[in-house]
Amino acid sequence: MLRYEVAGNRATLTIDDQERRNPMSLQTMGELAGRVNEAAADPAVRVIVVTGAGDRAFSAGGDLTGRFVDAPLADHDARGALADLIRSLRRCGKPVIARVNGHALAGGFGLAAACDIVIAVDDAMFGTPEVNVGLWPMMITAVLQRLIPRRAAFELMATGRRISADEALRLGVVSRVTSRAELDSVVDETVDRLLAVSPAVLALGKDAFYAVEDMPLDAALDHLHNGLTTVALTEDAAEGVASFVEKRAPQWRGR
């Protein structure tokens, strides 16, 4: 079950099944990807927030009560829902914040890690426990291996060990750790900061940031050189420089 709400310039996607700790069924993952794409296409939406209902879990991961292993070959294509979701998060052109309100495990860990900014409560736990039920965190390996040192990532996957929000912060998965009482205010502050900058430059910057992550240094520098010129060609760049020189607040046009 997924709730989708738009308020102001923020779209909030909430996995809403707190009794079962917000599992990510194939249907839920498909709906998440669809809603991310919808938010990406909505000019009124400039920031996307992903969270879970309640205060126990962001998401405990895949819904193993469904047909996950009942028809392994027949459901092969359907299992690509998580890959589609990760691609949507990366390619939506808008900043995505994971509001981690509780435990983020298995696919839930991967979902949080696939977001651009991860703000977690200090008592949240993270982990990849799939190995304990005879599975492996295949899809989210593509995300975690790019964030966590390789040996640390493999150890988490091979043992199923859970880590605290503070350890996730040290490993580079989490952006900020906060108390439960301050979670919403920290998320709101981050949203406000993102809304205060040019949406056009954010979109170009996000695309460039992820485009170069696997490039050799020279190729990355060439790509970013072209990207800098692309940014300089935007109306918002001209407005930003003019507002700096004139000592006034910029008026972003989003182009």
Report whether pLDDT(159) > 60. yes
Q: pLDDT, tens digit, for every residue of 129-140?
A: 999 989 989 999
Residues 9 and 44: beta-carbon distance below 8 Å: yes
- Residues of the chain with pLDDT > 70, as a percent, come to 95
- pLDDT score of 215: 95
| Annotated domain spans of the chain | 2-195, 199-245
The pLDDT mean for the chain works out to 93
- pLDDT score of 245: 95
| Residue 209 token pair | 């940031």
Q: What is the DSSP string of 82-104?
A: HHHHHHHHHHSSS-EEEEE-SEE
| Residue 236 token pair | 């918002």
Tokens 């962001």 identify what position? 58
Q: Which amino acid is at 66?
A: G
pLDDT band at 235 (very low <50, low <70, confident <90, very high): very high
pLDDT band at 74 (very low <50, low <70, confident <90, very high): low
Nearest to 122 by CA among 186, 193, 212: 186
Q: What is the average pLDDT across 174-195?
A: 98
| Residue 60 token pair | 């405990």
| Long-range CB pairs of 64-69, under 8 A, 24+ apart, other chains included | 64/23, 64/133, 65/23, 66/25, 66/26
Q: What is the DSSP string of 192-244?
A: HHHHTS-HHHHHHHHHHHHHTTTS-HHHHHHHHHHHHHHHHTSHHHHHHHHHH
* DSSP single-letter state for residue 130: G
- pLDDT score of 66: 57
Nearest to 51 by CA among 107, 93, 112: 112
Q: Which amino acid is at 139?
A: M
Q: pLDDT, tens digit, for every residue of 89-123?
A: 999 999 999 999 999 999 999 999 999 999 999 99
- pLDDT score of 61: 87
Q: pLDDT, tens digit, for every residue of 39-73?
A: 999 999 999 999 999 999 999 987 766 555 666 66
**CATH classification of 2-195, choosing from 3.90.226.10, 2.60.40.10, 1.10.10.10, 3.30.830.10?**
3.90.226.10
- pLDDT score of 1: 86
